[in-house]
A and B are shown apart, each in its own frame.
Chain A
Amino acid sequence: MTQGTMALSDEGSRGAAADATGLIDRLGFSSGKVTMSTNVKLEAVEPAVTGEGEKPLIELRNVSKTFGAVKALSDLEVSIRPGELVTVVGPSGCGKSTLFNILAGLEEPDPGNVLRLKGVSSTASDLLGKVSFMPQRDLLLPWRNVIDNAILALEIEGMPRSEARRQAMEMLPEFGLAGFEAQYPNQLSGGMRQRVALMRTFLFKRDLMLLDEPFGALDALTRTMMQRWLLDVWQKHKRTVLFITHDVDEAIFLGDRVLVMTARPGRIKLEQVVDLPRPRKADIVTSPEFIALKKTLLEAIEEESMKSFQVSGH
C-alpha cells in the first residue's frame, strides 16, 4: 500500500512497532474466538444485505453552509443506509469536517436544508447526543486514564461509573489495549491514543458513527494494521460508519461506497460503489478491480485538487 505518502506522522512514529505487534496479536485471536459482549446493542441490526429499497438511516438534501464570506458546503446530498461503511474523500478545505460537524449537531446548516434521521425531519441540534463522533484529533483528557477516557460519553449519558468501566474493560482486548487501562494518555503512542479515542466512540452506542481522518496522523505500518482492525470490529458490531480520509487506498479498502467531494464549496462530485468482496485481505489493493477503482477516484480527486489549488493560488 502507498498510504504512507501523505501521512503526517508527528506522533505516529512513537511506538509504531509496539502497536503493530499488539495488533497482530489481537487480530490473531479476535478472528476466531472472541465472542461479542452482551452489552453491545445492535441498533443497526438490518445489514445492508436487505438491499437497495431500504430506508436510509440519515439523509441530507440541499445542505449548504456559509461561514461569513466562505461557502464551505453547497447543496450537498448524502444518504446513508443502515450498516453501511461510507468513506468520504476530497481536497483539504472542501468542507468534510464541516459536514461532520453538521451531522454531529455542532453546526446548523444554512436555512432551506432537509436533514432526516431515520426518516424524521430534524434540525442539526436535534442530533446532539444522537451520533457518535470522533473528531480529527484524539482529544483525550490528560487527567483521565485509558478506561476513564473511554467511558467519557457513557458518563455524560448518566451511566454509573462502575457499570461504564465494566463495559469498557470488556472491550479493551478487542481494541488492543488490554493491560493498558490504567495508563494515562501521555504514556501512550499515537496509535494507541487513537484506539482509545475509537473505543470512546464505539462505547457511545449510536446508530451513526462519524470518524474524521482517524488514522491521518499515523505512520503507514500502524495505519494499515488499524484499517484491517477497524474492518474486523465494524463487521462484528454492525455500525453505520461515515469515514473521512485523504487517502484513496484507505477509502477503497474500507468503504462500501466512496464519496468524492468537490473543491470548496463542497458537493458530492462522485459516488463510487466499491463491490469488492468482504472480508477484505490486505493484498486486495493489488487486484485489478481495486486498481481500476483507484484510477477512477484519483482522476476525480485530481481534478478537484487542481481546482482548489487554483482558487487558493490566486
Chain B
Amino acid sequence: MTGVSTSAATLPVASTGRVHAAVKPVLWLALGLLAIEVLVMALEIRPYYLPRPSAIAANIMATPGAYLAGLWRTFLETALGFVAGSLFGVLMAVIFHRWVTLRELFFPLFVVSQTIPVIAFGAVVVLWFGNTLFAKAVISFYISFLPVTVNTLLGFSSVDPRQVQLMRSFGANDVQILRRLYLPAALPQLFVALKLASSLALVGAIVGEWFGDTTGLGVLLLQAMYNENVVGIWATIVVSACLGMGLYSLVSLAERKIVFWGGEQ
C-alpha cells in the first residue's frame, strides 16, 4: 500500500457538529416556553385562551398514566397504519411501474379514493371493524399510502435509462434491476413521502379515535373538550405534538442513515 491508501483512509467524517445540532433545538424550545410563560403572566391572558406552559406541564404530571396510555395506544395505531401504508404504497408503485396497463387503469382510481374526506370514510371503517385498534390503523393506512406510491413512482422515473441498459448488458433480469437499481434510486423520493405519511398517519389515528374508543390521544382530546378542561386540551395537544415530532424525527434519522448519498443523481 502506498500513500494513496492512507490519504483515503483519513478523509474527514463529520461528527462534532452532531451534538451541537441536537442540543440547539432543545435550547430554543426551552427559551420559547419560558417566553410564553412570561407573556401569558404579563398580559394576564386567561387560561381559557392559553394556559401557562407550567400549568400544562403540571396537568400532564398530575396524571401521567392517562397520557402515557393514550400516547401508547395512538402510537400503535399510527405505527401500524404507517408501516402498512408505506409497504402497500411501495408495492403499488412497483406494480404500477412493472405493468403500465394496470397503472393506467387503477392509478386514477387511487387518486379519486383520496378525494373522499377521511372523516366520511372513518365512520364506515369503524362500522366495519368496530372500535378496535385495527380500525384506526386502517384509517391511518388509508391516508398515508398514496403519497408513498406517488413519490416512489417519481423516484423510479428519475432512473437513467442508460443505467438500466448497462444492467441489461450484464444479463440482469427484471427483479435484479428492481432491487439493485430502481428501489435504491427511489429512496430519496420515498423518504420525502414517508415523512409526510408519518404525519398523515397520526392525523388518521386521532381522527379515527373520534368515532369511538376508550383510550388514545383523540379520546383524551374529546373528553377534555366535553369537560371544558382547557388545560387538558392543551396537554393533549402537547403530547400529540411530541408523538408527531418523534415519528418525524425517527423517519428523518432513518433517512440520514439510509440515503447517505444525498440523492444527488
Q: Quick check: is A187 within 8 A (CB to CB) of the other chain?
A: yes
Q: Which of B4-20 contact A (CB under 8 A)?
A: 4-9, 11
- As a 0/1 sequence over residues 126 to 146 of chain A, the CB contacts with chain B under 8 angstroms (1 = contact) are 001111010101010111000
Find chain A residues with CB under 8 A from B3 CB.
Answer: 25
Find chain A residues with CB under 8 A from B262 CB.
Answer: 186
B108 to chain A, nearest CB (A): 31
B152 to chain A, nearest CB (A): 16
Q: Which residue on B lies nearest to A204, using beta carbons?
A: B170
Q: Quick check: is B181 within 8 A (CB to CB) of the other chain?
A: yes
In the bound complex, what is the Cα–Cα distance between A152 and B261 (angstroms)? 18
Find chain A residues with CB under 8 A from B6 CB.
Answer: 179
B235 to chain A, nearest CB (A): 43
Chain B residues within 8 Å of A, Cβ to Cβ: 1-9, 11, 160, 162-163, 165-172, 176, 180-181, 184, 187, 260-262, 264-265
B186 to chain A, nearest CB (A): 11
**Given A186-B261, A187-B11, CB of A178 within 8 Å of CB of B169:** no
A-B contact pairs, 17 of them (CB 8 A): A105-B168, A105-B169, A128-B171, A129-B171, A135-B165, A139-B166, A156-B170, A156-B172, A156-B176, A156-B180, A157-B170, A178-B1, A179-B1, A179-B2, A179-B7, A180-B4, A180-B8
Find chain A residues with CB under 8 A from B264 CB.
Answer: 142, 186
Find chain A residues with CB under 8 A from B2 CB.
Answer: 25, 178-179
Q: A141-B180, A156-B171, A157-B171 are in contact. List 15 more A-B contacts (CB 8 A).
A: A25-B3, A104-B169, A106-B169, A128-B169, A133-B169, A135-B162, A135-B165, A135-B166, A139-B166, A152-B167, A152-B170, A178-B5, A182-B8, A183-B8, A184-B260
Is B170 a contact of A153 with CB atoms below 8 Å? Answer: yes
Q: What is the interface residue range for chain A against chain B?
A: 20 to 34
B7 to chain A, nearest CB (A): 7
Find chain B residues with CB under 8 A from A130 CB.
Answer: 171
Is B170 a contact of A139 with CB atoms below 8 Å? Answer: no
Is A133 a contact of B166 with CB atoms below 8 Å? Answer: yes
Is A176 a contact of B4 with CB atoms below 8 Å? Answer: yes
Is B180 a contact of A155 with CB atoms below 8 Å? Answer: yes
Please pick, from B8, B168, B265, the residue contacting A142 in the complex, using a CB distance under 8 A.
B265
A45 to chain B, nearest CB (A): 23
In the bound complex, what is the Cα–Cα distance between A141 and B265 (angstroms)? 9
Q: Which residue on A lies nearest to B9, using beta carbons?
A: A179
Is A143 a contact of B1 with CB atoms below 8 Å? Answer: no
In the bound complex, what is the Cα–Cα distance between A179 and B9 (angstroms)? 7
In the bound complex, what is the Cα–Cα distance between A156 and B173 (angstroms)? 8
Is A106 a contact of B180 with CB atoms below 8 Å? Answer: no
Is A179 a contact of B5 with CB atoms below 8 Å? Answer: yes
Q: Quick check: is A4 within 8 A (CB to CB) of the other chain?
A: no
In the bound complex, what is the Cα–Cα distance between A129 and B160 (angstroms)? 20
A169 to chain B, nearest CB (A): 12
Q: Quick check: is A56 within 8 A (CB to CB) of the other chain?
A: no
